[in-house]
Amino acid sequence: MNAKTMQWLLRREMWEHKGMLAWVPLALAALMIVIVTGVAITGHNATIQVDGVTTSVAGTTIELGERQQQRLAEGIVAVSPVGAAPIYLALAFMVFFYSLGALYDERRDRSILFWKSLPVSDAATVLSKAALALIGIPLLMIVVELATSLILVAIGLTALAIKGVNVFPQVLSHPQFWLGPLKMLSLLPVYALWALPTVGWLLLVSAWARAKVFLWAVGVPLATMIFVVWMQKGLQVAVNTQWLIEKLISRLLIGVVPGTWLMASDVAHRARDMDITANTRGPVAAFDMIYQSSWAAVATPEMIGGALAGGAMIAGAIWLRRRREEG
């Protein structure tokens, strides 16, 4: 497998799923821009909370002191990289369902017979699908989210300026405003490593199941969870159900949701301190704490063990694809 082959395979995947990859993020971005623009124009039910004081923006003007404007600017700077957060939620669904159908759909429509006639190995094919799920789709969604967030911030700042609160200088001159997007992009490896067991599990099921692939992928972990809870509650068997659910079952199903790596045991306490940090050192410091905690999760047993398990399941998916050609 060389770089040119992998590039061609990735282009094939993007071409086959161009509808999902193009229209879902663009539709979400457009919807959010329309909603925020409407709120900015009408001011309906919109409020600003600074230092615990809530101010309505429905009036003709807004009165904020210099310190309040600075705090407002810091709050806008802190949330600007995640201003279009629903797009990150869509990312989780896109990666989940793409991985779930990646190897099953080609057997269902029997296109696998054509693709196997090409001089491309099963390993290269499966790895290209895993690469799109772990890197390609997240990178696309992060870029769309950051662009949408920038537009939303511009709309919000313009609306505030019209109302008499011009915080453009404080926001645009803040270093975090420009560093925030770069920090979000730099979290792509963290996402890929954390989502690896979920993507590996979904690819494994996608390569194995002959039908009802969603039921197998979701039903088996949920049935296992119900079974161990029944063992603990009904039969009084000493089973650590909380550990099993948090460290095993949830990693198979929700690892594709951005930010869930903050649940890792060694970094959870950092995330819990976010509110304290936001109140004492400001929202920008709270954002930095989340960023540092995200990278701290890379060295946790959950991340390392999950990545190894995910790699093993992807290897299993390659082995299964090599032997399954029927629909």
- Give per-residue pLDDT as tens, 158-201: 988 887 788 888 999 999 899 999 999 999 999 999 999 999 99
- Cα–Cα distances (Å) from 49 to 37, 71, 162, in that order, read 19, 10, 18
Angle at the Cα of 36 from the Cα atoms of 145 and 142, rounded to 5 degrees: 0
What tens digit of pLDDT does each residue of 22-81 get? 999 999 999 999 999 988 887 665 666 666 566 666 555 666 677 778 888 888 998 889
Q: What is the token pair recorded at 46?
A: 């919109």
Q: Band the pLDDT of 212: cuts 50, 70, 90.
A: very high
pLDDT of the residue at 206: 96
Q: CA 101, CA 214: separation in Å to the nearest integer?
A: 9
Mean pLDDT taken over the chain:
86
Amino acid identity, position 34: V
pLDDT of the residue at 327: 47
Which of these, 119, 189, 154, lies nearest to 37 by C-alpha position?
Answer: 154
Q: What is the token pair recorded at 149?
A: 């967030």
What tens digit of pLDDT does each residue of 117-161 get? 888 899 999 999 999 999 999 999 999 999 999 999 999 999 888
Q: What is the token pair recorded at 40?
A: 């900015």
By the 8 A CB rule, do 288 and 78 touch?
no
Instruction: With H, G, I as helix, E, B as strand and everything else as coil, classify residue 54.
Output: strand
pLDDT of the residue at 62: 65
Percent of the chain with pLDDT over 70: 87
The CA dihedral of 137, 129, 255, 324, to the nearest 10 degrees, is 150
CB burial string 8-39: b at 16+ within 10 A, e below? ebbebbbeebeeebeebbeebbeebeeebbeb
Residue 230 has pLDDT above 70, yes or no: yes
Burial class (CB in 10 A: 0-12, 13-18, 19+), 46: middle
By the 8 A CB rule, do 212 and 322 touch?
no
Of 166-170, 176-180, 258-262, 274-278, the one with minimum mean pLDDT is 274-278
Of 90-99, 129-138, 178-187, 259-268, the one with minimum mean pLDDT is 259-268
Number of other CB atoms surrounding residue 118 within 10 Å: 12
By the 8 A CB rule, do 86 and 32 touch?
yes
pLDDT of the residue at 189: 96
pLDDT of the residue at 142: 96
pLDDT of the residue at 248: 84
pLDDT of the residue at 271: 61
What tens digit of pLDDT does each residue of 282-294 get? 788 888 888 888 8
